[in-house]
Structure 1
Amino acid sequence: MSNNNQNRYIICMKWGTKYGPEYVNRLYNMVKRNLTLDFEMVCLTDDETGIDPNVRCYPIPELNLPSGLPERGWKKLTTFKPELYDFKGTALFLDIDIVIVDNIDAFFEYEAEHEDSVVIIRDWKKPWRMIGNSSVYRFKVGQNTYPNLLSNFETNFSTIRNEVRHEQAYLSNYLREHHHLEYWDKSWCVSFKYQCMAPIPLNFVKAPRLPEGAKIVIFHGEINPPDAIKGGGGKWYRHVKPSPWLKEYWQ
């Protein structure tokens, strides 16, 4: 592998049993259809069984945290190891339960204002908090750009876990203090829950729709793509009518 800064990586992560290998394989297929730039697909995982051989699989790096903690998104922070295997270049992290609905070249072509910026989704529900949603974020990988981001988290975890609820809050706060945090165009990454579904109680009669300009649909909370396609699932008051239009993208 050449070690120039033009290398482009799509990085995803799969652990536990909630999502099977088909989620990684669908993500790879969606990226392949919607990214015209050269890229390498990487999955950090605890089980590579059934994953497409075109996806390079590596173990999820260990986090130096107390044992017995519930499995959470803290693991995503290991993508910021100063040296992550042999990767050097620009990485776009994608959650495996997203649905890509349009060309995503722009996520690599976007020109950040600062060399060490991480570009992330701005939270939909409470944007004034300036917390990023880490379903889609771009960063410099393997170049020691964020040398203390992970070590600071591990060293001060007992304090941090009482201050923030999840890894994206820590990540956002740390980057705004020590580096730079930028946000994607708000039309690119849409929340299925907040932007595709009609507000309560209209969700009982109106089917979800795809907002204009969307490139990626993000699933957070209890609903995932199969639930959205067939309808149902989630809390009773957040009833989901079927979204068959998702099927043509999620394959």
Structure 2
Amino acid sequence: MDIAKQLERALTLDGAGEIDAALVCLEAIDGQIPDQAAHLILVGQLYQRLGADAPSLRHLLRALELKPDDADLHMSLGYHYMDNGDPAAALNYFQRHLQLEPTSLEGQVFAGRTLDFLGRLSEAEAALRGAQAMAPKDIDILHQLGRVLLRQKNINAAEAVFGEATRQQAGDVLAQIGLARCRALSAASPPGARSEAAPATVVCVKHGDKYGPEYVNRLHAMVRRNAASIPGFVCFTENAEGLDAGIQVQPLPGAGLAGWWNKVALFRRDLAGVEGRVLYLDLDVVVTGNLDPLLCHPGDFVIMDNDYVPGFNSSVMLFEAGARSGIFEDFSEADMERLDGDQDWIALKAPDAELWPHLWCVPYRLRAAIAPPAETKVVAFSGRPNPSDYPAEWVRELWR
């Protein structure tokens, strides 16, 4: 088999978004790749883009043995460990990259992001301010820096950074989200003593054929195994075929809305079949611990933090049915066109939302690829892999 042609074909398929076909191409020549750093790096980085972590790491580590001072190779290994839940290892590679290439903007940014994930916020701020000095008009750096300042509760400094982002790029949505969050936190009163609330009804949304009924059924089973009691489990869907008994079915709440935008309609005043407190779960989550603290959390509106950019992750939300109806009533088709997803809209309309306690709800890639933290109760998946890919043994044990 012509290795060069097969690699070229795999690259073409990758560019066209045909991930599975590109993987087939690579796997056909995997054992024939020349033991040379350039070839190993090319193949390792391509596997990385395709989400094939194990073969990617194998090729990149072998390349490192052959070319230990390759700066780009250290970046690729940093990406691998960041995407696979080992930020400490990732930081070592990003810092080594910076030793080899001190003026690397990319290295400076990712060192800052990794320090943020590790909770080393003052160091993260210093790294990102260094990146800002290199590229003062880079909007993404301003987003990251503002997010770190918010986490440090340095509201005035965060507001200044997000304000600079809006001056650099009028209409920048993430900067608008950051500014709204700054204003909400500035106006917030310190929380008083709160008692545990009655358990919430669990709801999910199944739209189209992206996820089959097995995702709803497994979510229902995981909730039942991990909660003392729930008032009900409601699935909003246009197709109830294959759903287990015990799952209450209601029509999709948002006529004409597609995919994740249906989540916006969960905030309507007259949400069918649900009263009182609601715990929303994405279909592609895995329950890893006791859900009672989430179900009985006393917060008015609680949501996941976004580990990547200013704003929220709407995979796990707790709210009072009908209490935030403006999220639905003020929504328009124009908002769908200008925003990346429902969570941007929710962040703009509910910037005062409370965040779940640290590590209760985490993203798979960044925080749980090796194993979920002990405190974690729900792991959210975004894109590839899905729980049905069984990317880790713990997923196979718990997603059932």
TM-score by length of 2: 0.49
SS in 2 for 1:245: helix
Residue of structure 2 in register with 1:133 after alignment: 313
- Pairing 1:164–2:339 present: yes
1:7 and 1:88 in contact (8 A); partners too: no
The number of equivalent residue pairs is 204
Residue of structure 1 in register with 2:306 after alignment: 123
Select the structure of larger CA radius of gyration.
2
- Higher helix proportion, which one? 2
2:215 and 2:284 in contact (8 A); partners too: yes
Deviation at 1:94, TM superposition (A): 0.4
Q: State the alpha-carbon separation in 1 of the partners of residues 399 and 200 from structure 2.
A: 23
1:191 and 1:217 in contact (8 A); partners too: yes
1:177-226 per-position Cα deviation (integer Å, ceiling 9, x unaligned): xxx311001211111111123xxxxxxxxxx2222211111100221012
1:6 and 1:89 in contact (8 A); partners too: no
Q: Which of 242, 245, 251 matches 2:394?
A: 245
1:7 and 1:89 in contact (8 A); partners too: no
| Letter aligned with residue 109 of structure 1 | C
- Pairing 1:45–2:45 present: no
- Pairing 1:189–2:361 present: yes
Q: CA RMSD in A?
A: 1.8
2:284 and 2:380 in contact (8 A); partners too: yes
Q: State the alpha-carbon separation in 2 of the partners of residues 147 and 61 from structure 1.
A: 13
1:75-224 correspondence runs (5 A): 75-112=262-299, 117-126=300-309, 129=310, 131-141=311-321, 144-154=322-332, 157-158=333-334, 160-176=335-351, 180-197=352-369, 208-224=370-386
Relative contact order higher in (CA < 8 Å, ≥ 6 apart): 1
Structure 2: gaps of 5 or more residues: 1-196
Deviation at 1:13, TM superposition (A): 0.7
1:130-169 per-position Cα deviation (integer Å, ceiling 9, x unaligned): x11111000101xx42232212103xx31x2354211111
Deviation at 1:64, TM superposition (A): 5.7
Residue of structure 1 in register with 2:57 after alignment: none
Residue of structure 1 in register with 2:221 after alignment: 29
Deviation at 1:109, TM superposition (A): 2.3
1:31 and 1:100 in contact (8 A); partners too: yes
Residue of structure 2 in register with 1:204 after alignment: none
Q: State the alpha-carbon separation in 2 of the partners of residues 224 and 146 from structure 1.
A: 31
Deviation at 1:108, TM superposition (A): 2.3
Q: State the alpha-carbon separation in 2 of the partners of residues 35 and 74 from structure 1.
A: 28
| Letter aligned with residue 282 of structure 2 | D
Q: State the alpha-carbon separation in 1 of the partners of residues 283 and 203 from structure 2.
A: 10
TM-score by length of 1: 0.76
Q: State the alpha-carbon separation in 2 of the partners of residues 244 and 64 from structure 1.
A: 39
1:44 and 1:58 in contact (8 A); partners too: yes
| Letter aligned with residue 121 of structure 1 | M
1:111-135 per-position Cα deviation (integer Å, ceiling 9, x unaligned): 22xxxx3200000123xx1x11111
Q: State the alpha-carbon separation in 1 of the partners of residues 294 and 205 from structure 2.
A: 19
Q: Residues 63, 186 of structure 1: CA spacing in aligned structure 2 closer, same or farther, 3 A cutoff?
A: farther
2:250 and 2:273 in contact (8 A); partners too: no
